Amino acid sequence: MDNTELKKQAAEKAVEQIKSGNIIGLGTGSTANFAITKIAELLKNGMLKNIVGIPTSKATEKLAESLSIPLTTLNEINGIDLTIDGADEVDDQLNLIKGGGGALLREKVVAQASKREIIVVDESKISKQLGEKWHVPVEVLKFSFQLEKRFLESLGASVELRKADDGNPYMTDENNYILDANFGIISSPGTLASKLEQRAGIVEHGIFIGLVHEVIIASPNGIRTITKK
């Protein structure tokens, strides 16, 4: 069984936790798309009713609309029952690096508004410590991106301005830039997160701490689940 099929199975397992009447956070990326497609299928056949979704990106919004999933906004609700999303890296404390798809700001806003956050990944995304396998995406103001690049370098990172397919700087849904900062292994994600959060020109970073309740992992040996201790 290939990796794509495994991710599909893991995403669909996460969807089993959705109940009729729930407000659902809809993640961004290939794995989250499997969950969104399954939600649409269950709505269509009547297995789920009265579901509304909160998309974490314009791309997810477009997909959900094409599949006739009813959507709302954070300004119209009091909270989210359950969010299903992917991640670029997961450590053994269930901390994450997210933002490979460029949606880290909205993804974190939605995660913070969620009663439960379920992350679906394949086994290659699991590591002992964050930074083993992935850089930290940092969303920054265009106004000061060079200043923030130098700041990240002063913390020991090698930093690249993310580019779009056309070679121009990648633009987030909120019209900011992303700096991909490689810190190597991050011994204290909380300390690094605090330093990044003190910078006015850094809009958000891709380190997610204490926001995840469950991780569903797809591997050649099947699907396993890790829950928050």
Q: How far, in whole angstroms, is CA 2 from its chain's centroid?
A: 23
Q: What is the DSSP string of 190-209?
A: HHHHHHHHT-TTEEEESEE-
Strand boundaries in 149-205, DSSP class E:
158-161, 177-182, 202-205
Provide the pairing of β-strand 89-90 with 136-140.
unpaired
- Which H helix or E strand runs over 217? strand 214-219
Determine contact, residues 60/119, Cβ cutoff 8 Å: no
Give the active site residue among 107, 139, 148, 214.
107
Q: How many residues does the chain have?
A: 229
What is the Cα–Cα distance from 142 to 139, expressed in whole angstroms? 9
| 153 included as an active-site residue | no
Active site residues per annotation: 107
